[in-house]
Amino acid sequence: EVQLVQSGAEAKKPGQSLKISCQGSGYNFANYWVAWVRQMPGKGLEWMGFIYPVDSDTRYNPSFEGQVTISVDKSTDTAYLQWARLQASDTATYYCARRGRISGMYVVDVWGQGTTVTVSS
Amino acid sequence: EIVMTQSPATLSVSPGDTVTLSCRASQSISNGLAWYLQKTGQPPKLLIYAASNRAPGVPDRFSGSGSGTEFTLTISTLQSEDFAVYYCQQYRTWPPALTFGGGTKVEIK
Nearest CB among A45, A50, A61 relative to B87 is that of A45
Q: How far is A82 from chain B (nearest CA, A)?
A: 19
Confidence of residue B93 (pLDDT cuts 50, 70, 90): confident
A46, pLDDT greater than 90 = yes
What pLDDT was estimated at residue A83? 98
Tell me the chain A residues in contact with residue B95 when contact means C-beta distances shorter than 8 Å: 59
Q: How far is A5 from chain B (nearest CA, A)?
A: 12
Contact in structure between A3 and A34 (CB atoms under 8 Å) = no
* Cα torsion B75, B21, B12, A112: sign: positive
What pLDDT was estimated at residue A23? 98
What pLDDT was estimated at residue B22? 98
Contact B43 A112 (CB under 8 A): yes
Q: Please give the average per-residue pLDDT across B42-65, as a whole number.
A: 97
What pLDDT was estimated at residue A104? 86
Encode pLDDT of A10-42 as tens digits: 999 999 999 999 999 999 999 999 999 999 999
Q: Which residue of A has its CA nearest to B6?
A: A44
DSSP string, chain A: --EEEEPPPEEE-TT--EEEEEEEESS-GGGS-EEEEEE-TT--EEEEEEEETTTTEEEE-TTTBTTBEEEEEGGGTEEEEEESS--GGG-EEEEEEEEEEETTEEEEEEE---EEEEE--
More confident residue, A37 or A106: A37
A103, pLDDT greater than 90 = no
Encode pLDDT of A50-82 as tens digits: 999 999 999 999 999 999 999 999 999 999 999
More confident residue, B89 or A105: B89
A6, pLDDT greater than 90 = yes
B20, pLDDT greater than 90 = yes
Q: Which residue of A has its CA nearest to B54?
A: A102
Tell me the chain B residues in contact with residue A35 when contact means C-beta distances shorter than 8 Å: 96, 98
Confidence of residue A105 (pLDDT cuts 50, 70, 90): confident
